[in-house]
Amino acid sequence: MRKVTRSDPAPSRWSYRMQRILLTPTYRLAVRIGVPFVLSAGLTYGYLASDARRDAVIDQLVAWREAFETRPQFMVNLMAVEGASPGVEEDIREVAQIDFPVSSFDLDLAGLQATITDIPAVASASLRVRTGGVLDVLVRERRPVVLWRTATGLALVDREGVVVGGVTERSSRADLPLVVGKGADTVVPEAQEIFSAARPISDRVRGLVRVGERRWDLVLDRDQRIMLPEDEPALALERVIALDQAQEMLDRDLVTVDMRLAQRPTIRMNEGAVKTWWKIKDFVAEANGQ
C-alpha cells in the first residue's frame, strides 16, 4: 500500500515573522506616510537643486502673494481721523506718512498707533481698517486746562501736566487760567482747586505764581497778591474771601495778604496808604497833646 505525504499548511518561521511585521502599525504608517514623504522630499530636493529653478519657484510664490494681498478688498484708500481738532489731525496725517492706496497687509497698525500717541496733544488712539478701504483713527485728544507762562513763551498744559501745545498771545486762550513759575506744570490739579476757590473774585484774578516750587501766590488786579501756604492753599484762600465778603478787605489799599502762617495772617498796605496812616496817627497824637 502506497503512503501519501501531505504538505504542512503552516508558514515557515521567517514567513510568519514577515507577516507579523507587515501587520504592525509602525510598518503600515511607514508605508502609508514615510515612503511618500521620502520620495516627495527627494524629488523636491532634486528639482530645487538648480538655482534657476529655485529662483523661479520663489518668484512665482512672491507673485502669488502680491496678487493676493493687492486684491481690491484688501486695499486701503484713505484715512479718516475722528475726535481730533484740525491742528492735531494735520499732525497725525503728517507723522503717519502713508502713501495711499496701500494693502492692509503692509500696514503696521501697532507701530502707527505708537507714532500717533507720541504726539503731545494725543492722549490715546485706536486704529482699525473698516469696510470700504478706510483706515479709521479714533483719537482722544488731551484738553488743556491751564496756560503756563515760561521763559520761552506760553504753553498749553492738561490736567496731567503734559504740554499739549503753545500759543503766541495770552488773548488767544483767554478762557484758560494763567499759571507762572518753575514746576507749575507738575501741580496743575492743585492750581485748579485754587482757581475754583477763587470764583467769587474771578473777575479780579490775573493768575497764579509758583514760588520756590513749594507754594502759590494768587495775583489780583491793582497789583494785589495773596500769599498762600504750602498745605491746603485753597482753604486758606476761602478764608481770605470770607474776610473780604464780610469787611471788603480786598477793596482797601492792600499790597499783600500773607496767609503762609494760617494761625497769624498778615496784610501789607501800599506806600500811599502807609503815609496816609502815619499822617492820621500824627494828627491824632497832636490832637490828644493839645
The answer on 169 and 209 residing in a single domain is yes
The answer on 248 and 150 residing in a single domain is yes
The answer on 153 and 85 residing in a single domain is no
Per-residue pLDDT at 181: 94
Residues in CB range of 208: below 8 A, 6 or more apart: 177, 178, 179, 180, 184, 191, 194, 195, 216, 217, 218, 219
The answer on 124 and 96 residing in a single domain is yes
Of 141, 172, 189, the last residue of a domain is 141
Predicted confidence (pLDDT) per residue in 112-126, tens digit? 999 999 998 999 999
276 versus 86: the higher-pLDDT residue is 86
Tell me, yes or no, whether 16 lies in a domain: no
pLDDT of 7 > 50? The answer is yes
CATH number at residue 219: 3.40.50.11690
Phi, psi for 112 (deg, rounded to 5): -65, -35
The answer on 154 and 136 residing in a single domain is no
Antiparallel, parallel or unpaired: β 225-227 and 254-258:
parallel
Q: Model-level pTM?
A: 0.67
What domain range is 120 assigned to?
72-141
pLDDT of 78 > 80? The answer is yes
Question: Mean per-residue pLDDT for 91-108?
Answer: 89
The answer on 222 and 129 residing in a single domain is no
Of 110, 141, 172, the last residue of a domain is 141
The answer on 235 and 122 residing in a single domain is no
Per-residue pLDDT at 285: 56
Predicted confidence (pLDDT) per residue in 134-182, tens digit? 999 999 999 999 999 998 999 999 999 999 988 999 999 999 999 999 9
Residue of 172, 96, 88 lying closest to 123 (CA atoms): 88
Enumerate the H helices of 30-183 as residue ranges.
35-48, 51-69, 86-96, 109-117
Tell me, yes or no, whether 65 lies in a domain: no
The percent of residues above 90 in pLDDT, for the chain, comes to 47
Per-residue pLDDT at 100: 87
pLDDT of 25 > 90? The answer is no
Of 118, 141, 164, the last residue of a domain is 141
CATH number at residue 94: 3.10.20.310
Q: Which amino acid is at 276?
A: T
- Do 91 and 121 contact (CB within 8 A), yes or no? yes
Q: Please give the grid coordinates belonging to residue 21.
A: 511585521
pLDDT of 243 > 80? The answer is yes
pLDDT of 283 > 50? The answer is no
Question: Mean per-residue pLDDT for 179-207?
Answer: 95
In the chain, how many domains are there?
2
The answer on 227 and 242 residing in a single domain is yes
The answer on 119 and 85 residing in a single domain is yes
Question: Mean per-residue pLDDT for 67-72?
Answer: 77
Per-residue pLDDT at 9: 64
The percent of residues above 70 in pLDDT, for the chain, comes to 88
The answer on 251 and 209 residing in a single domain is yes
Tell me, yes or no, whether 186 lies in a domain: yes
CA distance 82 to 76: 17
Question: Mean per-residue pLDDT for 241-250?
Answer: 88
The answer on 137 and 148 residing in a single domain is no
pLDDT band at 252 (very low <50, low <70, confident <90, very high): confident
Mean pLDDT (the chain, rounded): 85
The answer on 149 and 241 residing in a single domain is yes
